[in-house]
Amino acid sequence: MHRAEPSSRAYYLFANCGAMASLVRDKVAGHWAVRSHTCKHRCCQPCRRRVASIVRYNLAEKCNEVVRRAGRNGLKAVTLTLKHSAANLRDQLRRLLTSFRTLRRRKRLKHFFKGGAYVIEIKVSSKDGLWHPHLHILTEGNFTRVETLSDEWNAVTKDSEVVWIKAVPDVQMAVAHDTKYITKAVDNSVYTNERKLAEFVTATKGIRMVGTFGTWRGVKLNRRVPSNADWQFFVPLHHAIMAAERGDIAMIDALAWLQSKFTPDVPTLAQPPP
Rounded percentage of the chain residues whose pLDDT exceeds 70: 92
Helix (H) or strand (E) holding 79: strand 75-81
Average pLDDT over the chain, rounded to an integer: 87
Query: Residue 192 pLDDT more than 50?
Result: yes
Query: Residue 108 burial (CB < 10 Å; 0-12/13-18/19+)?
Result: middle
Q: Which pLDDT band, with edges at 50, 70 and 90, does 7 fall under?
A: low
Per-residue pLDDT at 224: 83
- What average pLDDT does range 225-240 have in this prediction? 87
Express each pLDDT in 33-84 by its tens digit.
Answer: 888 888 888 888 888 888 888 898 899 899 989 888 887 778 899 999 999 9
CB 136 within 8 A of CB 79: yes
Radius of gyration of the chain (CA): 21
pTM: 0.81
| Distance separating alpha carbons of residues 110 and 124, to the nearest angstrom | 32
Kindly tell me if the per-residue pLDDT of 264 is higher than 50.
Answer: no
Tell me: the pLDDT tens digits for 111-162?
A: 999 999 999 999 999 999 999 999 999 999 888 999 999 999 999 999 999 9
* Enclosing H/E stretch for 72: none
Confidence of residue 184 (pLDDT cuts 50, 70, 90): low
d(CA 121, CA 160): 17
What are the backbone dihedrals phi and psi of residue 212, each rounded to the nearest 5 degrees, phi first?
Answer: -120, 165
By the 10 Å C-beta count (0-12 exposed, 13-18 middle, 19+ buried), 70 is classed as: middle
Integer Cα distance of 92 and 85 in angstroms: 9
| Helix or strand holding residue 60 (H, E) | helix 45-70
User: What domains can be seen in the chain, in order of their start residue?
Assistant: 41-214 (3.30.70.1910)
